[in-house]
Every structure is written in C-alpha cells, then in structure tokens.
Amino acid sequence: MLQADGGTRTAAITGGFVALHDALAWLAAKGAFASLPVSDFVAAVSVGVYQGTPILDLDYAEDSACGCDMNVVMTGAGGFVEIQGTAEGATFSRQELEALLGLAHRGTMQLVREQRKALGLA
C-alpha cells in the first residue's frame, strides 16, 4: 500500500486482487494454464457507525472516532469472505449491523465494477 488515509487493509485486498488477476491473465496468455484460474472477483470495504450514522469507507479521523468499525470482504457474486467488526466505545444494534452490511454490499459491488474496468473486462 503506497498511500491511504484509512482502510489500508481493505484497499490492499481490493487492489491486490486486481494485480493477481492481471498476473494470472498474463500467465494464462503464455500457456501456463488451460484457463484462467479465477472463479470470482474479491473486494473489501470498511464501514462503521460514526456520530450515530452508518457510513462507508471510513477515513482515519472517522475510524479513530467511530463507535463501530467493520471490514467486509465479499465476492463479485455477493458472497461473504470475511466480516470483522468491533464495537469501539459503544455497542451497535442489529439494525445498524444490517445497515452496515447493506453499505458494504453496495460498496464492494461498486469496487468490483471498477476492478473489471481496470482489467479491461467491463
């Protein structure tokens, strides 16, 4: 990760997948594989409850002061790879959890579209 304000882990996962896909596509073009060994895309986002409001893509200031911080890793098909969340200073409700997962889903699907564009697949 060269530069990030917050969400360095999620940015590394999302960008790392693009680099991996690109490298595997290059190897497949050289005949190393019969077909590209990628079954789906993977992207990650951070979400949290900041000043009582669920938000997507926490920056450092928001992450440092939020009541709940969560990283969500999902596939392009919408399956969960990882959900890691922590109440930091205040608990969070099931309603807030569902709002955060909804934000995470929308955010990761947007990132998958951007990954496809970056790889020339959109």
How does pLDDT run along the chain (122 residues), one tens digit per residue?
455 555 788 999 999 999 999 999 999 999 999 889 999 999 999 999 988 899 999 888 888 888 888 999 999 999 999 999 988 878 889 999 999 999 999 999 999 999 999 999 98
Question: Rounded to an integer, what distance in angstroms lies between the CA atom of residue 5 and that of residue 52?
Answer: 21
**Is domain 8-118 given the CATH code 3.20.20.70 in the classification?**
no
Question: Cα separations (Å) of 50 from 8, 30, 59, 65, 92?
Answer: 18, 48, 11, 7, 11
Provide the whole-model pTM.
0.90
- Residue ranges of domains in the chain: 8-118
